[in-house]
Structure 1
Amino acid sequence: MSQSTADAPWRDLTDPRRAATVEDLEAGLKEPVFENLEIPEQLGPVTITVDDHKIKRFSFTQDDYGPWYLQGCPNFGGARIGQPALLGNDLVQLFTTRYRASKTVGFHTEEQMWFDSPVKIGERVTLSGTYVEAYERRGQGYVVMEAQAVGEDGRSIVRHRGVEILRTVPGLIAGRGASETPERRVTGEVPADARPIEAVAADTCVGDVLAPLKKTFTAEQTAVFSRIGEFVRNTHNDLQIAREAKLPTLIVQGQQQYGAAAELMARVFGAAWFTQGWLKMKFIKPLQIFDPVEFSGVVTSVTKDPEGWRLIELEVWARRASDGKLTAVGWASCRVD
């Protein structure tokens, strides 16, 4: 789809149109290995425009066609807004402003985002990040990125903190557990008599379980999400690379699963999620393409502050259908009026 104006910035971190005249789209970038890290290391900034194509592309990859994104949101002036995790992968991929994306065979182990304000269609957004920490554990090199998306008026849209193994063999380490011992163990188990809820209400209480959000990520959705349109090859869109990584087939990017969990939170909390939400997830087992997965959670705490706001906290998880194993676990919270 074409840009609306001739001078509007291209929406992706790598402009695929350059392939017509440039042989190596990643020329001058570093090999993504632990030894090449610089701490701290600035990533970006890059500027993108949240256009109609970007929102619709995310709707396709996530199978999320909510009216707020395609028609308009009455809670925020009637304008169309982006899905809560729309900019998540852009933030994760900031490292490719310094490192060769197609040489990366990494493993995203942890993702955390704070949702400060919705992004509106047509808005120009600046993304910037920093590698703030690097460490080795169990023979793997981890790197921590902190990043932020800022609107054209200077307000924070989302803040990000992610943990990644920069280069590894995913098929050999997947399933070993998260990068760190979870601060509160999430089992994904709830009592048979737990009350299912679709959204928070005045009577929401500890023990309420979220009605599951069901997804099946196809090869096409996963490939588009993982930058095949920019000619980036990885374990999510290229079978040869997946096999070299000791995987039987393509796997779904952790950030794509995170987007589905954020979708569930937006359904549960409504407009409050876009300004008061927080979600942290650890990716513990791989999810193959076409393997149905369910996202759910349970309310663990409901507290009220002196101003009358309620803080609702949850444990959340993703469970694959093939064997009932959890692929991701995490925690979420949101302040509601």
Structure 2
Amino acid sequence: MTWRDLTDPRVVADGVDPEAGLKEPVFENLDIPEALGPVTLVVDDHKIKRYAFTQDDHHPWHLHDSPFGGRIAHAGLLSNDLVQLFTTRYAASRTVGLHTEEQLWFDSPAFLGDEVTLSGTYVESYTRRGQDYVVMEAAATGPDGRSVLRHRGVEILRTRPGDVAGRGATGSSGSGRVSGTADPGLPTAVPGTPTVRPGAALPGLEVTITQEQASVFSRTGEYVRNVHSDLDVARAGGLRIPIVQGQQQCGLVTAMLTRFFGTALFGGGWLRVKFVAPVEVFEPLRVGGVVTEVTPAGDGGTTIAAEVWVRRADGRLSTVGWASATVPAA
């Protein structure tokens, strides 16, 4: 049967090392371009419920039924699988990297029971500020050949996370600077109503990622050890406690956007985020956003652009970004 993950952890019972023969994840071992995957996995009930647990996201579209006709995967369900595609070539448990930027295009929903094929490529590598970066482009394709999700990510391939996490400038990009604030004088934006206007806040979320959630998200079920799931590995990386994976924070943002954009997110939504400060497990988080632009679209629809963010309990932004989707006429 097709397994639900990048690797099938059951093989260890037969003495198989899933990471045997894979490359050491260091800059010198990169081949640019380098194919990653393909891997076929199944979006089964366990995978959906497991993701719902890790994100504390029990939206009824994923657990019961959706406007698309049947249960669908969370918008971000396959995003970490795409990020982790490099572990089809490189040893996952010897990776001590740092995800710095993520971009996602949501093309169509993945349905319960879909066998989805993931493939990617390392397309670029460079050195900046003494750190070695690699850029991956990847995609998830449905069983009928349709595009489900596309990804472009930037990662420091090997580093000491405690030395570099959070040293970058907050939110600077070609899309502008994310302020992390909305106009307190405006009502919260609700699509299809006049409340959707620049400056209006998106309905936010409050989430605390526990160690159990971070460990499961970061592949402890596949026996992968990393700075997100293992205390010893985290401390060896200069951290006092494991940190929440950037992609897990990205999933919190997609949960907020699902509730705001609705079905529009799954058929042409876009998200770009930068991870600018570390988040420790057990740290209370506030996920928020603000409408930045409202543009009429064809057939009476509206394209809504927004800034989005994740804020730590101490007030510092840990993730900043930009999102958009075209909402059809009511």
TM-score (norm 1): 0.94
Question: What one-letter code is carried by the residue in structure 2 that aligns with 1:41?
Answer: E
Kindly state the Cα deviation for residue 181 of structure 1 after the two structures are TM-superposed.
4.2
Q: Percent identical across equivalent pairs? A: 59
- Which ranges in structure 2 are unaligned for 5 or more consecutive residues? none
CA offsets 1:234-283 (integer angstroms, 9 cap, x no match) = 00010001001110101000000101100000000111111121011000
2:214 to 198, 203, 222: 222
Aligned 8 A contact 2:289 2:307 in 1:
yes
Kindly state the Cα deviation for residue 306 of structure 1 after the two structures are TM-superposed.
4.5
- Which ranges in structure 1 are unaligned for 5 or more consecutive residues? 1-7
Aligned 8 A contact 1:142 1:166 in 2:
yes
Question: What one-letter code is carried by the residue in structure 2 that aligns with 1:224?
Answer: V
Q: Which residue in the other structure is 1:38 paired with?
A: 31
SS at match of 2:233: helix
2:155 to 147, 164, 171: 164
Question: What one-letter code is carried by the residue in structure 2 that aligns with 1:110?
Answer: E
Q: Which residue in the other structure is 2:75 paired with?
A: 84
After the TM superposition, which residues 120-135 of structure 1 pair with which residues of structure 2 at under 5 Å, given as runs?
120-135=111-126
SS at match of 2:100: strand
1:26 to 7, 19, 35: 19
Whole-angstrom distance in 1 between the partners of 2:65 and 2:211: 30
Kindly state the Cα deviation for residue 66 of structure 1 after the two structures are TM-superposed.
1.0
SS at match of 1:302: strand
The reply on whether 1:248 has 2:235 as its aligned counterpart is no
Whole-angstrom distance in 1 between the partners of 2:246 and 2:298: 37
Whole-angstrom distance in 2 between the partners of 1:161 and 1:152: 22
Aligned 8 A contact 2:37 2:120 in 1:
yes
After the TM superposition, which residues 44-59 of structure 1 pair with which residues of structure 2 at under 5 Å, given as runs?
44-59=37-52
Kindly state the Cα deviation for residue 201 of structure 1 after the two structures are TM-superposed.
2.1
CA offsets 1:269-328 (integer angstroms, 9 cap, x no match) = 11111112101100000000110001111100001135432110001110001x110000
Whole-angstrom distance in 2 between the partners of 1:190 and 1:148: 33
Question: What one-letter code is carried by the residue in structure 1 that aligns with 2:97?
Answer: G
Runs of 4+ in 1 over 6 A off after TM superposition: none
1:238 to 204, 207, 230: 230
1:290 to 282, 287, 293: 282
Q: Which residue in the other structure is 2:55 paired with?
A: 62
CA offsets 1:21-77 (integer angstroms, 9 cap, x no match) = 23532111000001111110000000001000000000110111111111111x212
Whole-angstrom distance in 2 between the partners of 1:107 and 1:179: 16
After the TM superposition, which residues 141-220 of structure 1 pair with which residues of structure 2 at under 5 Å, given as runs?
141-177=132-168, 181-183=172-174, 184-197=176-189, 199-203=190-194, 204-220=196-212
Q: Note the aligned Cα RMSD (angstroms).
A: 1.3
How many residues align? The count is 326
Aligned 8 A contact 2:171 2:276 in 1:
no
The reply on whether 1:17 has 2:10 as its aligned counterpart is yes
Kindly state the Cα deviation for residue 206 of structure 1 after the two structures are TM-superposed.
1.0
Aligned 8 A contact 1:110 1:179 in 2:
no
SS at match of 1:172: helix
Whole-angstrom distance in 1 between the partners of 2:256 and 2:165: 25
Kindly state the Cα deviation for residue 332 of structure 1 after the two structures are TM-superposed.
0.2
Whole-angstrom distance in 2 between the partners of 1:113 and 1:185: 19
